[in-house]
Amino acid sequence: MGIRVTEVFKKHPECYNKKILDLLKSGDNPFSFPGLKYTHTVKESIKLNNLHEPCIIIAGSGMCTGGRIKHHIKHHIWDKKNTMLFVGYQAKGTLGYYIKKGEKRIRLLGTEVAVKADIESIDSFSAHADYKGLLNWLRHFNPKPKKVFIVHGEEEAMMPLSKRIEKLGIKTKIPEMEEEITL
């Protein structure tokens, strides 16, 4: 999926900011540079599990809950020469959460694996807007939505967001786990 999204970005330079446009004009392409290899197939991805030279594997599934990332973790997290860098939020209860929290052993793909790699994190990246961005987005609706359902995030963050949205004159609802709502 990440490769397909990158292809979409490549096709729409009108969406780039000045910094990216300047990079491209100078010949420095952030989507293609020496050493970058896209793995289009599962077979190509599996080959990464047998690499012994220094490399950086950029993989999706931010919470480490599914897909190829689980195999990359299983084959590399036990080696103290490796580093696993998280650049996104890790929800409680996910594999990514337990690794980031500092668990010394994890259960993965039916096997218990020792965590010996360095675990690092850059917490300033996000896959979506912060509350200010969401409020700004909601302010631009005409007419305003009748109700906003807040279904993503942790409870201690959802409640304040709900109150801020309601100050805009929009009702909110934070559904309970497995609650069904008829629209």
pLDDT recorded at residue 105: 97
Tens-digit pLDDT profile for residues 56-75: 888 776 789 888 889 999 99
CATH number for the 39-121 domain, one of 3.20.20.80, 3.30.420.80, 3.40.50.10890, 3.40.640.10? 3.40.50.10890
Q: How confident is the model at residue 22 (pLDDT cuts 50, 70, 90)?
A: very high
Tens-digit pLDDT profile for residues 134-173: 999 999 999 999 999 999 888 888 999 999 999 999 999 9
Q: Residues 6 or more apart from 45 whose CB is under 8 A from it?
A: 39, 68, 71, 72
pLDDT recorded at residue 140: 93
Which residue intervals of 56-154 are DSSP H helices?
Answer: 68-76, 95-101, 131-139
> Comparing C-alpha atoms, which of 174, 170, 146 is closest to residue 158?
174
Residue 9 reports pLDDT greater than 90: no
Domain ranges in the chain are: 39-121, 131-173
DSSP code at position 176? P
Handedness of CA 145, 146, 150, 151 (dihedral sign): negative
- What is the SS3 assignment for 100? helix
Cα 21 to Cα 25, 28, 35, 142: the distances in Å are 6, 10, 22, 33
pLDDT recorded at residue 81: 94
Quote the strand ranges of 21-140, DSSP E: 83-86, 105-108, 111-114, 118-121
Tens-digit pLDDT profile for residues 85-117: 998 788 889 999 999 999 999 999 999 999 999
Residue 4 reports pLDDT greater than 90: no
pLDDT recorded at residue 149: 96
- What is the SS3 assignment for 86? strand
Give the global pTM.
0.69
What percentage of residues in the chain have a pLDDT greater than 70? 98
Structure tokens at 18: 């000045």
Q: How far is CA 111 from the centre of its chain?
A: 25
Are 125 and 58 contacting, i.e. CB atoms less than 8 angstroms apart? no
In one-letter notation, the amino acid at residue 104 is: K
